[in-house]
Protein backbone atom coordinates (compact mmCIF):
# COMPACT_ATOMS: atom_id res chain seq x y z
CA UNK A 1 0.00 0.00 0.00
CA UNK A 2 1.13 3.52 -0.73
CA UNK A 3 2.81 4.90 2.40
CA UNK A 4 0.57 7.96 2.60
CA UNK A 5 -2.61 5.90 2.24
CA UNK A 6 -1.25 3.48 4.81
CA UNK A 7 -0.76 6.35 7.27
CA UNK A 8 -4.27 7.66 6.60
CA UNK A 9 -5.73 4.18 7.03
CA UNK A 10 -3.92 3.79 10.35
CA UNK A 11 -5.32 7.16 11.49
CA UNK A 12 -8.85 6.20 10.46
CA UNK A 13 -8.50 2.82 12.19
CA UNK A 14 -7.36 4.47 15.43
CA UNK A 15 -10.24 6.94 15.45
CA UNK A 16 -12.70 4.16 14.56
CA UNK A 17 -11.48 2.08 17.49
CA UNK A 18 -11.92 5.03 19.87
CA UNK A 19 -15.41 5.68 18.49
CA UNK A 20 -16.44 2.02 18.77
CA UNK A 21 -15.18 1.83 22.33
CA UNK A 22 -16.76 5.10 23.43
CA UNK A 23 -20.18 4.36 21.93
CA UNK A 24 -20.14 0.56 22.24
CA UNK A 25 -20.47 0.09 18.48
CA UNK A 26 -20.03 -3.24 16.73
CA UNK A 27 -18.23 -2.53 13.48
CA UNK A 28 -19.78 -5.06 11.14
CA UNK A 29 -20.85 -4.98 7.49
CA UNK A 30 -23.95 -2.96 8.32
CA UNK A 31 -21.87 -0.36 10.13
CA UNK A 32 -19.17 -0.01 7.46
CA UNK A 33 -21.63 0.16 4.56
CA UNK A 34 -24.06 2.36 6.45
CA UNK A 35 -21.36 4.86 7.41
CA UNK A 36 -20.07 5.13 3.83
CA UNK A 37 -23.63 5.70 2.60
CA UNK A 38 -24.29 8.27 5.33
CA UNK A 39 -21.11 10.17 4.53
CA UNK A 40 -21.80 10.16 0.78
CA UNK A 41 -25.16 11.75 1.57
CA UNK A 42 -23.42 14.37 3.70
CA UNK A 43 -20.94 15.14 0.88
CA UNK A 44 -23.88 15.56 -1.48
CA UNK A 45 -25.70 17.86 0.93
CA UNK A 46 -22.60 19.96 1.61
CA UNK A 47 -21.92 20.35 -2.11
CA UNK A 48 -25.51 21.30 -2.90
CA UNK A 49 -25.52 23.91 -0.13
CA UNK A 50 -22.20 25.32 -1.29
CA UNK A 51 -23.41 25.56 -4.88
CA UNK A 52 -26.66 27.25 -3.84
CA UNK A 53 -28.81 24.26 -4.74
CA UNK A 54 -29.61 23.07 -1.23
CA UNK A 55 -31.34 24.46 1.81
CA UNK A 56 -29.23 26.76 3.91
CA UNK A 57 -25.76 27.98 3.20
CA UNK A 58 -22.66 25.88 2.90
CA UNK A 59 -18.97 26.42 3.21
CA UNK A 60 -15.95 25.03 1.43
CA UNK A 61 -14.66 23.85 4.81
CA UNK A 62 -17.80 21.82 5.45
CA UNK A 63 -17.51 20.16 2.02
CA UNK A 64 -13.85 19.34 2.73
CA UNK A 65 -14.76 17.89 6.13
CA UNK A 66 -17.45 15.67 4.63
CA UNK A 67 -15.10 14.44 1.89
CA UNK A 68 -12.59 13.63 4.66
CA UNK A 69 -15.25 11.63 6.51
CA UNK A 70 -16.18 9.71 3.36
CA UNK A 71 -12.54 8.96 2.56
CA UNK A 72 -11.97 7.79 6.12
CA UNK A 73 -14.84 5.32 5.91
CA UNK A 74 -13.80 4.09 2.47
CA UNK A 75 -10.31 3.44 3.86
CA UNK A 76 -11.79 1.66 6.89
CA UNK A 77 -13.98 -0.52 4.69
CA UNK A 78 -11.03 -1.40 2.44
CA UNK A 79 -8.88 -2.21 5.48
CA UNK A 80 -11.65 -4.38 6.96
CA UNK A 81 -11.91 -6.28 3.66
CA UNK A 82 -8.14 -6.59 3.20
CA UNK A 83 -8.14 -4.39 0.10
CA UNK A 84 -5.13 -2.27 -0.81
CA UNK A 85 -6.95 0.80 -2.19
CA UNK A 86 -3.87 2.21 -3.94
CA UNK A 87 -3.22 -1.06 -5.75
CA UNK A 88 -6.89 -1.52 -6.60
CA UNK A 89 -7.18 2.01 -8.03
CA UNK A 90 -4.01 1.58 -10.06
CA UNK A 91 -5.19 -1.78 -11.41
CA UNK A 92 -8.73 -0.59 -12.21
CA UNK A 93 -8.10 2.96 -13.46
CA UNK A 94 -4.50 2.56 -14.61
CA UNK A 95 -5.50 0.10 -17.30
CA UNK A 96 -7.15 2.93 -19.22
CA UNK A 97 -3.81 4.72 -19.50
CA UNK A 98 -2.12 1.47 -20.49
CA UNK A 99 -4.70 0.99 -23.25
CA UNK A 100 -4.20 4.57 -24.43
CA UNK A 101 -0.40 4.24 -24.45
CA UNK A 102 -0.49 0.95 -26.38
Q: How far apart (Å, rounded) are the C-alpha atoms in residues 46 and 72? A: 17
Please tell me whether the overall predicted TM-score, pTM, comes out greater than 0.75 for this model: yes
pLDDT of residue 96: 87
Inform me whether the pLDDT recorded for 38 exceeds 80: yes
Query: Do residues 62 and 46 make contact, with C-beta atoms less than 8 angstroms apart?
Result: yes
CATH number at residue 95: 1.10.287
Number of folded domains that form the chain: 1
pLDDT of residue 3: 87
Query: Do residues 102 and 89 make contact, with C-beta atoms less than 8 angstroms apart?
Result: no
Domain carrying residue 77: 3-101
Amino acid sequence: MDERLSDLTALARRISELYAERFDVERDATWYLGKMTEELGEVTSAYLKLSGQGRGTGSRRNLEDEVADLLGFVLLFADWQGIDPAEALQRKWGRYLEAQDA
